Amino acid sequence: MTMPRLVAALALAACASLAHANDYPTVDRVLYVQSCLRDHPGPAFEMIHKCSCTIDRIAEKLNYQQFVELSTEANATSIGGERGAVIRDNEGAQKEIRGYRALQNEAKKSCLIHLEQR
């Protein structure tokens, strides 16, 4: 492979990686940060940066569709009654939810959000 083609291939790979990390709609990033701020009160300016960092870390690991599916499943576990039991009793879904929550905790830790603040 010639040098110009190699450079072009590397640039394309870098752009594909950035596109994956930035495929989240702004409104969903904002909603995530707002939820994070509610869960982790602290100095506003500092926590906005930490919570923004967290969603950026998650976006590096999950594409938007995966994020929507996993966060929806994780939130659905709090639904009471039979509807919520569909998720709570599904071992496959529970395994995915545990993985998602572990990813969230890893992202928070890397962004210096202390998990005991909850």
Of all residues in the chain, the percent with pLDDT exceeding 90 is: 60
pLDDT digits (tens, 9 = 90+) for 36-75: 999 999 999 999 999 999 999 999 999 999 999 999 999 9
Closest C-alpha to 53, from 31, 33, 34: 33
What span, in angstroms and rounded, lies between the C-alpha atoms of 38 and 23? 24
Helix (H, G, I), strand (E, B) or coil at 2: coil
Name the residue ranges covered by the structural domains of the chain: 3-117
pTM over 0.85: no
Burial class, 102, CB count within 10 angstroms (exposed 0-12 / middle 13-18 / buried 19+): exposed
- Looking at residue 118, what is its pLDDT? 44
Stated length of the chain: 118
What span, in angstroms and rounded, lies between the C-alpha atoms of 40 and 33? 10
